[in-house]
Amino acid sequence: MCGIIGYVGPLGAVGIVLSGLQRMEYRGYDSAGLAMLDSADGALKRVRVSGKIPDLQRAVEQELPEPVAGRCHIGIGHTRWATHGAPTVSNAHPHLSRNGRIAIVHNGIIENYLPLKQRLIGKGYRFESETDSEVLAHLIEECYDGDLHRAVAMALEMVEGTYGIAVVSSQHPDVIVAARKGSPIALGVGNGENIVASDVSAIVNYTTRVIYLDDEDIATITPAGVQISSLKNVPVNRELRHVDWQPGELEKGGFEHFMLKEIHEQPEALANAIRGRLLEKDGTTRLSGVQMEPADYARVSRIIIAACGTSYFAGMVGKYHFESLADLPTEVEQAAEFRYRNPIIERDSCLLAVSQSGETADTIEAVREARRKGANVLGICNVVGSTIARETGRGVYLHAGPEISVASTKAFSCQVVVLAMLAIAFGRARRMSAGVGRDLVAGLARVPQLAEAVLRQTDHIRQVAEKYADAEHCFYLGRGYMYPVALEGALKLKEISYIHAEGYHAAELKHGPIALLDETVPVVAVVPDVHGRSKTVNNMQECRARKSPVIAIATEGDDEVDQFADDIIRVPPCPDFLAPVPVVVAEQLLAYYIARKRGCPIDQPRNLAKSVTVE
């Protein structure tokens, strides 16, 4: 969730590190800092702030004037999301060793930091921060005997927990040591320069050649190259990959926020997700990354979907896909619960790990537990080379392109479509006829147009949203396919507008939530023309009877809902299994314009991070 960047090479490290931190702002953070090695006096220069990157830039201009900054060709930087200790300057990274010669930045959590800290205090070390991370700086100094790589490895052998780290030392003016366990680290390979970062978005401006470290890898990075070994000092080779993101994709492109840009990118993202994967003549889909033949699909007797947050709600939609299209019993598991409750996994079970980033810590651990129990495991993620992609070894990439805003939008709609394509592949290997398959595939081919039709109503949705921007509570109601979509709509609203919003199955309205309804509590009723619509329309009437304003998301031409709704957002008619896509686009726009009217920081909501890499 925090951001790490490091640079070593002939260019000015200050500007590159600041630019890299700016690229990773979307991950969520509350303080920032950098440490540079001044080639003139060989000293580490550190600047930290409790605040945002513009605050750090101003502090750097004051504390590292241009002559000093120009002499710095190696440095590391960090954006911190507070865990151990408040977001203060003293808790911000980088942290220095006692002698001031070693600086570290760290993502993750050191679970045994207290006994390590007490031991170091007994040896005379003093701690300036409340963080677990500072322990690492002092441990590395304690282990240092002239070999920085070995000192870092020895220190990490004592650590329990997760880490992604980058380390520099004034005694090694052209070396960065990086390591990972449970927190992503990527190495950008250039010509006479190299970069280390926790996110490829900080790298692609300089190189598209990337190496991803695996757990317990440790790398020594110099201008000349990269050497990687295990913590036991056994050399390892990691694949050099090409990142197809373009720097322009990481810009707002004229939109006010990344979230709005990414909402409007959904037709293109959906087209990319289905491109080359629909076999209309055969009425099936081709997902080569899953590495399964029809006989392999047919052998699967049960689907388990493990995910968190927005991906969990996409997985709930996937449950409907697999059960209705493929006749496959399907469970959707909150990934954090999966490994701790000792799940029952039968031999022919298939686990789908769904994650936008591919770095969600709880989902990664679900993958590992499922593999230990003998399940087939497939990854569904957006980031090429991510941990889930590497550890599963097979699955489906979303091809949604970079998603910068913390609130996921296009990844959700692409996850829904990818899960539908998988369900069709499973179904055709079982009982689904070619004719039914052709109808489903033809529907999928139209899905970009479904999203586009909703985007054409942006002005109307903005007007509706602005009417309700002063609300402090809101309910979303839906049934069947629309139940998880109601949950996702409520999540989007609470994430970015800070309105307390809850999603409910519409049948649950009279089991408690109805007690909270009055004229100050709007209800979003998700009632497109799909199975369960008529019963939810009845629930709309119950809400109106309690004086709650009702916003209906309904199908074009469905005039019946007009008499029971205060405002209506129309979506195009489509089959049940595709209806989540246009409905969720409408919900995203509704949440966005409510948050905009309230003046909220939409791309970086408070306390949230894009990718949750700690449990």
Contact, 200 vs 386, CB < 8 A? no
Residues in CB range of 112: below 8 A, 6 or more apart: 159, 160, 161
Torsion over CA: 248, 253, 259, 262 (sign): negative
Cα–Cα distance, 408 to 404 (Å, whole number) = 8
φ, ψ for residue 370, nearest 5 deg: -65, -40
Q: Hey, how many other C-beta atoms are within 10 angstroms of the C-beta on 122?
A: 8
- Beta-strand runs (E) in 272-406: 278-279, 284-285, 302-307, 330-334, 349-355, 376-381, 395-397
Sheet containing 217-222: give its strands across: 95-96, 102-107, 163-169, 172-181, 217-222, 225-230
Q: Hey, how many other C-beta atoms are within 10 angstroms of the C-beta on 380?
A: 31
The three-state secondary structure class of 355 is strand
List, in sequence order, every residue forming a beta bridge with 210; answer none if it has no partner: 188, 241
Residue 161 carries which DSSP code? B
List, in sequence order, every residue forming a beta bridge with 164; answer none if it has no partner: 107, 180
Cα–Cα distance, 504 to 45 (Å, whole number) = 53
List, in sequence order, every residue forming a beta bridge with 166; answer none if it has no partner: 105, 178
Contact, 305 vs 352, CB < 8 A? yes
Cα–Cα distance, 230 to 119 (Å, whole number) = 26
Cα–Cα distance, 277 to 52 (Å, whole number) = 42
Contact, 201 vs 21, CB < 8 A? no
The three-state secondary structure class of 152 is helix
The tokens for 244 are 């197809």
Residue 94 carries which DSSP code? P
Name the CA radius of gyration of the chain, rounded.
25
* Nearest Cα to Cα of residue 513 among 549, 474, 486: 474
Cα–Cα distance, 306 to 290 (Å, whole number) = 17
Contact, 575 vs 322, CB < 8 A? no
Annotated active-site positions, please? 2, 610
